[in-house]
Chain A
Amino acid sequence: MIRLERALARIEAAVAVAALVAMVLLSFLQILARNLFDTGLPGVDVLLRYLVLVVSFLGAVLAVRDRRHIRLDAAVGLLPEAWKRPLGVGFDLFSALVCGVLSWAAVRYWLEAWRYAEVGRHWLAALSIILPLSLGLLSLHFLLRAWIGAHRPDAAE
Chain B
Amino acid sequence: MNAAIALGLVAAALLGLPLFVVLATLGLVASWRSGVDPAVLIVEMHDLTASASLVAIPLFTLVGSVLAAGGAPQRLVRVFNAVLGWMPGGLAVVALTSCAFFTAFSGVSGVTILALGGLLYPILIAGHYPERFSLGLVTSSGSLGILFMPSLPLLLYGVVAKVGIDQLFKAGIVPGLILLVLLGGYSIFTGRRLDVPRQPFSWAELRTAARTSVWDLLLPAGIVIGIFGGYVTVTEAASCAAAYVLFVEVVVHRTLKFDRHLFATFREAVVLVGSILIILSVAMGLTNLLVNAQIPSRVLAYVERVVHSPVEFLLLLNGLLLVVGCMMDVFSAIIVVVPLILPLAMRFGVDPVHLGIIFLANLEIGYNTPPVGLNLFIASQRFDKPVFVLFRATLPFLALMLLWLAVVTYLPFASLWWRGIF
Which A residues have a C-beta under 8 Å from some C-beta of B?
Answer: 13, 16-17, 20-21, 23-24, 27-28, 30-31, 45-46, 48-50, 52-53, 55-63, 66, 68-76, 79, 87-88, 91, 94-95, 98-99, 101-102, 105-106, 108-109, 112-113, 128, 131
Return chain A residues, CB-CB under 8 Å to B271.
Answer: 59, 62-63, 66, 68
* Distance of A81 from chain B, by nearest CB (Å): 14
Secondary structure of the A contact surface, majority rule: helix
Return chain B residues, CB-CB under 8 Å to A102.
Answer: 24, 28, 38, 41-42, 282
Within 8 A of A (CB), among B367-393: 372
Closest to B49 in A: A49
Return chain B residues, CB-CB under 8 Å to A98.
Answer: 21, 24-25, 28
Return chain A residues, CB-CB under 8 Å to B411.
Answer: none
Query: In the assembly, what is the distance between CA of A98 and CA of B24, in Å?
Result: 7
Return chain A residues, CB-CB under 8 Å to B30.
Answer: none
Instruction: Given A55-B58, A109-B43, A131-B42, verify A20-B239 contact (CB < 8 Å).
Output: no
Return chain B residues, CB-CB under 8 Å to A55.
Answer: 58, 270, 273-274
CB contact between B274 and one of A57, A79, A99 (< 8 Å): that residue: A57
* Distance of B116 from chain A, by nearest CB (Å): 20
Q: Report B44-85 CB contacts with A as 1/0, cut-off 8 Å.
A: 011011111011011100100000000000000000000000
CB contact between A109 and one of B39, B54, B235, B238 (< 8 Å): that residue: B39
* Distance of A5 from chain B, by nearest CB (Å): 15
* Distance of A11 from chain B, by nearest CB (Å): 12
CB contact between B46 and one of A13, A61, A128 (< 8 Å): that residue: A128
Q: Name 23 interchain pairs, CB-CB below 8 A, sorted by A.
A: A20-B62, A21-B266, A24-B59, A28-B242, A49-B52, A53-B46, A57-B274, A59-B274, A61-B274, A62-B274, A63-B278, A69-B20, A71-B13, A73-B14, A73-B16, A75-B15, A79-B15, A95-B17, A102-B28, A105-B39, A109-B42, A109-B43, A109-B46
Instruction: Given A102-B41, A105-B37, verify A94-B17 contact (CB < 8 Å).
Output: yes
Known contacts A27-B236, A68-B271; 7 additional CB pairs below 8 A are A16-B274, A23-B58, A48-B55, A62-B267, A69-B275, A106-B42, A109-B46
* Distance of A94 from chain B, by nearest CB (Å): 7
Query: In the assembly, what is the distance between CA of A28 and CA of B232, in Å?
Result: 12
Query: In the assembly, what is the distance between CA of A141 and CA of B15, in Å?
Result: 20
Does A28 contact B240, Cβ atoms closer than 8 Å? yes
Return chain B residues, CB-CB under 8 Å to A72.
Answer: 13-14, 16, 19, 327-328, 332
Is B291 an interface residue, CB under 8 A from the partner?
no
* Distance of A54 from chain B, by nearest CB (Å): 10
Return chain A residues, CB-CB under 8 Å to B19.
Answer: 69-72
Is B252 an interface residue, CB under 8 A from the partner?
no
Instruction: Given A58-B274, A102-B24, verify A49-B54 contact (CB < 8 Å).
Output: yes
Query: In the assembly, what is the distance between CA of A81 and CA of B48, in Å?
Result: 40
* Distance of A50 from chain B, by nearest CB (Å): 6
Does A76 contact B266, Cβ atoms closer than 8 Å? no
Return chain A residues, CB-CB under 8 Å to B279.
Answer: 70
Return chain A residues, CB-CB under 8 Å to B235.
Answer: 27
Does A59 contact B277, Cβ atoms closer than 8 Å? yes
Does B24 contact A31, Cβ atoms closer than 8 Å? no
Within 8 A of A (CB), among B215-249: 232, 235-236, 238-240, 242-243, 246
Is B364 an interface residue, CB under 8 A from the partner?
no
* Distance of B194 from chain A, by nearest CB (Å): 35
* Distance of B297 from chain A, by nearest CB (Å): 27
Query: In the assembly, what is the distance between CA of A63 and CA of B49, in Å?
Result: 21
Q: Which of B51, B271, B273 has the most CB of A within 10 A?
A: B271
Is B169 an interface residue, CB under 8 A from the partner?
no
CB contact between B18 and one of A59, A62, A95 (< 8 Å): that residue: A95
CB contact between B270 and one of A16, A46, A73 (< 8 Å): that residue: A16
Within 8 A of A (CB), among B293-319: none
Does B42 contact A75, Cβ atoms closer than 8 Å? no
